[in-house]
Structure 1
Amino acid sequence: LAMFPRSSVCRLGWRSVRLSRKATRAAASAQTLRRYSTDVCERDRSLFGLLFDIDGVLVRGRTPIPAAKQCFRNLVDGDGKYKVPVVFVTNAGNSLRETKAEQLSHLLEVEVSADQVVLSHSPLRVFTQFHELCVLVSGQGPVVEVAHNVGFKNVVTIDMLREANPLLDVVDHNRRPKDMIPPSKDLPPIDAVVLFGEPVRWETNLQLITDVLLTNGRPGNPVTSLHYPHIPVLACNMDLLWMAEAKNPRSVFQERCDH
């Protein structure tokens, strides 16, 4: 066996001690970092959340996308509670948040509350300058309830406007007055138009909204001059196309109103 001088042995021993100390410090640092990262994750868990678009991402029409169910199984714990905050956003606007939450709960097989749902008309809650005005609402479904739910106090529907002015909606011959012309009913002047979503009878909505805009909110009056700017139109959904379960995109009412 080769013999090393005592000085060489001392130097080798000191290097070993130094390397050992470095390794110990590195291990301790790594452990501290892991513990710190875990603490940060636990502390900031409430600051992290997920926003999910609904149509085309989680469902197509009323059909859930297969991977969506598995995704939400991973997002809830054994008690069905979300591991991180989750909010659902959609351009749909012809329903209440409670109704949409029930639909999502059924389709995704997880509990969804109304507070987790943001619809296209949800931002109207902050348009408080319009809440006391008389607004004409267009769409389908519970439009009056939706309008009251987001803060509007004085609501006129397309059907109310048509019944008050029966000669304005004459495209459908079956809905024209048959005998004597009924007198128009008094409605308050319309201060703004709110488009919640797709109407069923496009021709009726387009005609009456046009009448309201041309007459500055008094559709029973003749057009004497063009008012510009016209009364405000609050369009909740600005998408130009939508699909749902169809093979090709659908055109939207808002696009026709712009023209």
Structure 2
Amino acid sequence: MSKSGFKDVEFDKSKPEAQRPLGSVNTPPDSPKRKHRPMELPLHKASDHGSIGHRRRTSWGELEGSLTIPVSPGSHNTIEVPSLRSPDADSTQFMHNLSATPSMRERRVSRNSFGASLPIPKSKRQSRLSSVVYPEGEGAKAGLPMSATRDILTAQAQDVHSEKVQAAKNMAFVFDIDGVLVHGDRLIPQGKATLDMLNGDNQLGIKIPHIFLTNGSGKPELARVEQLSKILHNPISTDQFIQSHTPMRALAEYYSTVLVVGGEGYRCREVAEEYGFKDIVVPNDIVAWDPTIAPYRVFTDAERATSRPRDFTKMNIEAILVFSDSRDYATDMQIIMDLLRSERGRLGTTAADPVSQRIPIYFSQGDLLCPTEHPTPRMSQGAFRIGLEAMYKALTGEELERVVYGKPELATYKYADEVIASWMDELHGEERVPANVYMIGDNPASDIIGGNMYGWNTCLVRTGVFQGGDNDEENPANFGVFTNVWDAVTAACRKELGDDFGFKWDARKMNPVLHDSHAASAVEV
């Protein structure tokens, strides 16, 4: 039994890794215990081999996947992370009874194709569009530049408690957003207090590193952090923010002409343009060119005026990128199926071989459910993907090979390391990943399983998807289950910084003009 109270998972080394329980992908019982990142998988530069998803034979005699994508010559800004695969990759089980809801227990991993890799940016954040975003109409708050007096007082407090300062710099928080800090556009009250404290409203006046890791998507990063800053009444930087499609900027080095699907209006086209994709097509462009391709779609004059039609029988779309939830399942699924069954992405054609001539398709995340303002979670991009997989199997008899980013994929967590280290450098001048990383999430099937497999401390909150018992039975949080984000963060701080750590800054206790006790006792709480 581990210290956390959960049974250690025993390895069955006679089985291939893909057939082991998901809990077994962590460090085997006889390996040295590590506090952070126990699982080290090989990373590859994009120029290391000729294609992603190159075929190779496994130890049990099967050929790994044929999903290939081109590599740009001389690429230096990308690394490739092996994808995860669950044993339940066959979509047949979802076609027996179309009214059955796929089991979350059986779909804990994104079911990526064998051999697929997920490219992510190798360098520091490439988009420093905003250093700090301030909430509109707010005065000086935690996280904003401090006055000279506050600087002096916090330096004094940190000198007195140097050990706590080092401990605070050796921990970091990774927050899911929907269901943890907000419900759609509504603030979860404890979210603001939590960020206030981490941004300096604490005993030491110190900023404790934290980033945001969400499977949400559909907007440019700057637009999303501006929106969140207003809701949370705290400054959020693009440099500490990861949406599900943020790591997909790396794919701009691989593809030129892409179909981008999902999101409101043309927001996802804006995202793709910002990421560096050269030739971006959205479903509206195709419907404007040929309305008969989507016979049930009512296409408005306003949509036609803002679309970019052309003759799509004279060009090849190289890849399909589902950046966000579809706003029109019927149209988007029809166009995607036409492209997947075409000859190398040319509309108006039908491939003789639906496998070798198929273009790749990428999904930004795989969540089946997402918390919103509605009382119960709504279906998300994972449901859209399941439908496509079942349709493709029914029409071609073949399994759909595809790649899924987002939590719980390893690539997303490795990219999070890049962002944490960069943010640590901005806050404290130390470009490194702290030893004690805490993932705060509401979805056991993405936030918790991903954090567990990556060696993070995981905290499950009850303000979103999870509404269960003492802990999730299939993917238990290893640090615990908490009522809300404040309870989770303060519990982690007490563990790392001591039970006497104060969660409020009190200038009176540090300022000798306002408080006549000695400075050494001034920071006591």
1:188 CA displacement:
2.2
Q: In 1, distance between residues paired with 2:327 and 2:197? A: 39
1:120 maps to amino acid: S
RMSD: 2.8
Q: 1:196, 1:236 within 8 Å by CA — same for their partners in 2?
A: yes
Displacement, 1:240? 1.2
Q: Report the Cα offset of residue 247 of structure 1.
A: 2.0
Superposed counterparts of 1:178-189, under 5 Å: 185-186=311-312, 188-189=315-316
CA distance in 2, matches of 1:123, 1:224: 31
Q: Residue in 1 aligned with 2:341?
A: 214
Separation in structure 2 between the aligned mates of residue 75 and residue 225 of structure 1, nearest angstrom: 58
TM-score by length of 2: 0.38
1:52–1:89 CA contact under 8 A, matched in 2? yes
Q: Which of 220, 233, 237 is equivalent to 2:361? A: 233
Q: Structure 1 residues 67 and 125, CA, compared in 2 at 3 Å: closer, same or farther? A: same
SS at match of 1:238: coil
The reply on whether 1:86 has 2:86 as its aligned counterpart is no
The equivalent position to 1:157 in structure 2, one of 276, 282, 288, is 282
CA gap of 1:40–1:154, structure 2 versus 1, over 3 A, is: farther
Q: Do residues 70 (structure 1) and 193 (structure 2) align?
A: yes
Contact 1:184 1:220 in 2 (8 A): no
* Corresponding residue to 1:140 among 260, 263, 268: 263
TM superposition shift of 1:60: 1.0
Counterpart residue number, 2:375: 247
Q: 1:43, CA displacement in angstroms?
A: 4.6
Question: Does 1 or 2 have the higher relative contact order (CA < 8 Å, sep 6+)?
Answer: 2
Amino acid at match of 2:245: H
1:77 partner letter: G
- Superposition pairs for residues 24-103 of structure 1, below 5 Å? 38-43=161-166, 45-77=168-200, 83-103=207-227
Q: How does 1:89-128 map to 2 (within 5 A)?
A: 89-128=213-252
Residue 38 of structure 1: CA displacement? Answer: 4.8
Which residue of structure 2 aligns with residue 168 of structure 1?
Answer: 293
Distance of aligned partners of 1:226 and 1:246 in 2 relative to their CA distance in 1, 3 Å threshold: farther
Alpha-carbon spacing, 1:175–1:84, altered in 2? closer, same or farther (3 Å): closer
Residues 79-129 of structure 1: CA distance to partner in whole angstroms, max 9, x if unpaired? xx9712221111111011111111111111111122221000011123354
Q: Tell me how far apart the structure 1 counterparts of residues 195 and 351 of structure 2 sit (CA, whole Å).
A: 58
- Residues 58, 153 of structure 1: CA spacing in aligned structure 2 closer, same or farther, 3 A cutoff? same
Of Structure 1 and Structure 2, the greater helix share is in: 1
Contact 2:371–2:378 (CA<8 Å) still a contact in 1? Answer: yes
CA distances 1:195-228 after superposition (whole Å, capped 9, x unpaired): 011121111000001000000311222x252420
Distance 2:206 2:322 in 1: 34
How many residues end up aligned between the 2 structures?
214
Contact 1:192/1:231 (<8 A) preserved: yes
Alpha carbons of 1:240 and 1:82: their partners in 2 closer, same or farther (altered >3 Å)? farther
8 Å CA contact 1:242–1:249 kept in 2: the answer is: yes
Unaligned runs of 5+ in 2: 1-157, 301-308, 391-525
C-alpha distance in 2 between matches for 1:219 and 1:228? 16
**Long gaps (5+) in structure 1:** 1-34, 177-182
Mapped to 1, the partners of 2:177 and 2:326 lie a distance apart of 21
Asked if 1 retains the 8 angstrom alpha-carbon contact of 2:165 and 2:206, the reply is no
Letter in 1 for 2:373: E
Change (3 A) 1:162 1:226: farther
Contact 2:258 2:319 in 1 (8 A): yes
Distance across 2 between alignment mates of 1:247 and 1:255? 24
Max radius of gyration: which structure? 1
Instruction: Give SS of 1:127's match.
Output: helix
Q: Distance in 2 between matches of 1:116 and 1:82?
A: 17
| Identical counterparts, % of pairs | 30
CA distance in 2, matches of 1:184, 1:170: 19
Counterpart of 1:30 in structure 2 is: none
- Contact 2:252/2:275, CA 8 A, preserved across alignment: no
How far apart in 1 are the matches of 2:286 and 2:299?
14
Deviation string 1:60-83 (CA, Å, 9 cap, x unpaired) is 1111111112112222236xx971
